[in-house]
Chain A
Amino acid sequence: MPIEFPSRPALVAYVTCGDPDLATTLDIILAAIDAGAGVIELGVPFSDPVADGPAIQRASERALKHGTSLDQVLKLAREVRKSRGAGLIIFTYLNPVLRMGLGRFAAAAADAGVDGALITDLPVEESHEYIRMMRNRNLETIFLAAPTSTEQRLRGIAEASTGFIYAVSRTGVTGARAQLADDARKLVTRLRRHTKLPIAVGFGISTAEQFAAVGEFADAGVVGSAIVETIERNPGKEAASVAQFVKQLLAGRPQTSAVSRS
């Protein structure tokens, strides 16, 4: 099933699975979808999350304490898919996928009803076999583009990506920031020369204002650390808090820019 961004900007919501536990993560995801999130990134906790800031590091540690695994995240995806049609992306570091085996991962992901995956530490030039396995199962391969990416790299990223491209708004690790860097707009403009795919901007978006601003130049905004922090701050009422936060983010969207595209 193709990933759709029905309104602009669409919300791509990241959740670290297993934080605080898998049952709660399921509730959170369902609540986020019902509140209007278009795509869910199911974050697989990893022991050494080098691309992540403090919020997702802490969430990963909490999730790993009770042994959350890629296997369990795929089962969770299957649960979500039973009742919801939103886009589901596995968001992970490479090693858990390697340990499972690329072929097994692609088969299990397809079987669970997942739409695609993004592997943080797998750049395009190392992804040949991964792409082949994913294509075999009709799964999308989403890659990161960064402000530091050269034109040549952006071209490669555009060629290897399906579904959408994840444009990293600034150099740095994940985490909420007060201001969105100017880097983001420039990067999206550069990327547009190489692709017709939807572009989602992420890293640092935490307010409705920032989210709406992203809509001026991109198809979707990814919100991760701010959701993870909402979960952290609201023990016992995680799903309701996330739903409220998602509604808040989406309420900032200017009505006029609700352009339908797929």
Chain B
Amino acid sequence: MASATSTKSRNAAGGKKLAASDNGRFGPYGGRYVPETLMAALEELERQYEKARHDRRFQIRLDALLRTYAGRPTPLFFAGRLTQHLGGAKIYLKREDLLHTGAHKINNCLGQVLLVERMGKHRVIAETGAGQHGVATATVCALFGFECAVYMGTEDMRRQELNVFRMRLLGAEVRGVNSGSRTLKDAINDAMRDWVTNVRTTHYLLGSVLGAHPYPMMVRDFHKVIGRETRAQILKAEGKLPAAIFACVGGGSNSIGIFHEFLKDKKVKLIGVEAGGRSDRLGEHAARFAGGSPGVLQGTFSYVLQDDAGQIATTHSISAGLDYPSIGPEHAWLHDSNRAEYVSASDSEALEATTLLARTEGIIPALESAHAVAEVIKRAPKMKKSDVVVVNISGRGDKDMGILRESLRLG
């Protein structure tokens, strides 16, 4: 493999630490695999981000926006009835679903939009799967007065109709993408084509820990606040760290955000839940670690669902946000180094988890987040009552009412 071999020397160093090094590697994963036209823009973005990161004024502004606009900190809620129902570990929910726009995505969008302002660009493009990142991008562009175009697969536009309308209401242009499986991957392809054409005036506000360096590192950093808050909150509530943290993994931004603060606490199990879809046949799921192998897609070297000839496979998940054939490169490294464990939940398990959380706690999670809840349902009963676990409820289910109504026959 190019990366595995070309980074042999870097590997040795990379293996000792879990943070991205300067060249954007997580072990052998990550890197920067894009057409030459984009390379200068990525270098510029990396420079600007490095400067901003060490600029106190940038941090103060971002913190203020997160507090007064997005609604941070989000609560850590003890799910008493769910705990009782499952009869095992004490379950806490990190309520990212309560943020403005309904999901964790706003954390990253606020960070990047401040960078757009610093770079003097005035046009922003983004991709979206479930529509949550598109809505968050449209929102920050409205807030800053930037032009905004969001690429979205037409299949996703159909199943997340409400979010399409929200983006338009916020003044963004939603561009339907008809190629491939007409989902997230295809939306990213078209966003990259737009960026390669308009790179001099346009910033690509990528919504997950995917793509070429510096995106996986930068997007992670903007979401680390989830884990920082969780750590302080659980210590205050329980006086100890959790035994396990559960989060769903599409590209992997909410999960890396909550995991990162706990990487050095080896006793805290980190569990990422991928989309098991309909079955384990290629094309019917998005479980990259179960069915994928290392490869390069859309700028980064990571696990990819692909065929023997290196063509990227189609995927399926009931949740548009998890319906993607690759995974953030840092997750690939956390997987290979055994620091995090990755499992999958099927469409039907996610639906059951949605119903259970709705009826025990009065909280309707996004279908993405429901995958994390599904894994807790499997594990909590087998754990000790003195164990504490945290589930990241990365988004709320309002956007999913159409699919839920089609899938759940209620009363």
* In the assembled complex, B198 has its CB within 8 A of some CB on chain A: yes
Q: Known contacts being A50-B189, A95-B297, is A144 close to B310, with CB within 8 Å?
A: no
**Chain A residue nearest in CB terms to B8:** A129
Which stretch, B31-39, B225-233, B259-267, B361-369, touches the partner chain A? Answer: B31-39
Give chain A residues whose Cβ lies under 8 Å from the Cβ of B197.
171-173
Q: Known contacts being A48-B189, A125-B32, A146-B37, is A95 close to B304, with CB within 8 Å?
A: yes
Interface size class of B (residues with CB under 8 A): 35 or more
Report which residue of B6, B41, B197, B308 has the largest number of chain A beta carbons within 10 angstroms of its beta carbon.
Answer: B6
User: Would you call B297 and A130 a contact (CB within 8 A)?
Assistant: no
* In the assembled complex, A198 has its CB within 8 A of some CB on chain B: no
* In the assembled complex, B145 has its CB within 8 A of some CB on chain A: no
Interface size class of A (residues with CB under 8 A): 35 or more
* In the assembled complex, A97 has its CB within 8 A of some CB on chain B: yes
Q: Pick the residue among A69, A94, A129 that contacts B5 (CB under 8 A).
A: A129
Q: Known contacts being A95-B295, A146-B37, is A126 close to B3, with CB within 8 Å?
A: yes
Give chain A residues whose Cβ lies under 8 Å from the Cβ of B3.
98, 126
* In the assembled complex, A232 has its CB within 8 A of some CB on chain B: no
B interface secondary structure, majority: mixed
* In the assembled complex, B296 has its CB within 8 A of some CB on chain A: yes
Give chain A residues whose Cβ lies under 8 Å from the Cβ of B31.
126
Q: How far is the CA of A199 from the CA of B31 in the complex (A)?
A: 28
Q: Known contacts being A98-B310, A125-B32, is A130 close to B2, with CB within 8 Å?
A: yes
**Chain A residue nearest in CB terms to B308:** A99
Q: How far is the CA of A157 from the CA of B37 in the complex (A)?
A: 12
Report which residue of A121, A127, A143 has the largest number of chain B beta carbons within 10 angstroms of its beta carbon.
Answer: A121
Q: How far is the CA of A146 from the CA of B36 in the complex (A)?
A: 6
* In the assembled complex, A208 has its CB within 8 A of some CB on chain B: no
Question: What 1/0 flags go to A43-68 for Cβ under 8 Å of B?
Answer: 00011111101000100010010010
Q: Pick the residue among A49, A61, A69, A98 that contacts B2 (CB under 8 A).
A: A98
Q: Pick the residue among A46, A64, A127, A172 that contacts B196 (CB under 8 A).
A: A172
User: Would you call A153 and B311 a contact (CB within 8 A)?
Assistant: no
Q: Known contacts being A128-B6, A130-B2, A148-B199, is A168 close to B311, with CB within 8 Å?
A: no
Report which residue of A48, A69, A125 has the largest number of chain B beta carbons within 10 angstroms of its beta carbon.
Answer: A48
User: Would you call A95 and B296 a contact (CB within 8 A)?
Assistant: yes
* In the assembled complex, B306 has its CB within 8 A of some CB on chain A: yes
Task: Find residues 290-321 in chain B having any chain A CB closer than 8 Å to their own CB.
Answer: 294-299, 304, 306, 308-312
Task: Find residues 252-273 in chain B having any chain A CB closer than 8 Å to their own CB.
Answer: none
Report which residue of A61, A95, A101, A150 has the largest number of chain B beta carbons within 10 angstroms of its beta carbon.
Answer: A95
Question: What 1/0 flags go to B42-76 for Cβ under 8 Å of A?
Answer: 01000000000000000000000000000000000
Q: How far is the CA of A57 from the CA of B33 in the complex (A)?
A: 19
Report B85 CB to chain A, min CB distance, Å.
43
Q: Known contacts being A102-B1, A128-B6, A130-B2, is A48 close to B35, with CB within 8 Å?
A: no
User: Would you call A168 and B37 a contact (CB within 8 A)?
Assistant: yes
Q: How far is the CA of A63 from the CA of B34 in the complex (A)?
A: 23
Give chain A residues whose Cβ lies under 8 Å from the Cβ of B39.
123, 146, 148-149, 153
* In the assembled complex, B174 has its CB within 8 A of some CB on chain A: no
Q: Known contacts being A48-B185, A122-B2, A173-B193, is A148 close to B33, with CB within 8 Å?
A: no
* In the assembled complex, B81 has its CB within 8 A of some CB on chain A: no
**Chain A residue nearest in CB terms to B3:** A126
Q: How far is the CA of A144 from the CA of B37 in the complex (A)?
A: 8
Report A21 CB to chain B, min CB distance, Å.
16
Q: Known contacts being A95-B297, A98-B295, A129-B2, is A47 close to B36, with CB within 8 Å?
A: no
User: Would you call A50 and B36 a contact (CB within 8 A)?
Assistant: no
Give chain A residues whose Cβ lies under 8 Å from the Cβ of B294.
98
Give chain B residues whose Cβ lies under 8 Å from the Cβ of A172.
37, 196-197
Give chain B residues whose Cβ lies under 8 Å from the Cβ of A6.
none
* In the assembled complex, B180 has its CB within 8 A of some CB on chain A: yes
User: Would you call B36 and A143 a contact (CB within 8 A)?
Assistant: yes
Q: Pick the residue among B1, B196, B200 that contacts A98 (CB under 8 A).
A: B1
Would you mind naming 30 contact pairs between A and B with Cβ atoms under 8 Å apart? A47-B311, A47-B312, A48-B185, A48-B297, A48-B312, A71-B309, A96-B311, A98-B1, A98-B2, A99-B306, A99-B309, A101-B1, A102-B1, A102-B2, A120-B35, A123-B33, A123-B39, A126-B3, A126-B31, A126-B32, A143-B36, A148-B36, A149-B39, A150-B40, A150-B43, A153-B36, A171-B196, A171-B197, A171-B200, A172-B37
Closest 6 CB pairs of A and B: A99-B310, A96-B310, A129-B6, A69-B309, A146-B37, A172-B197
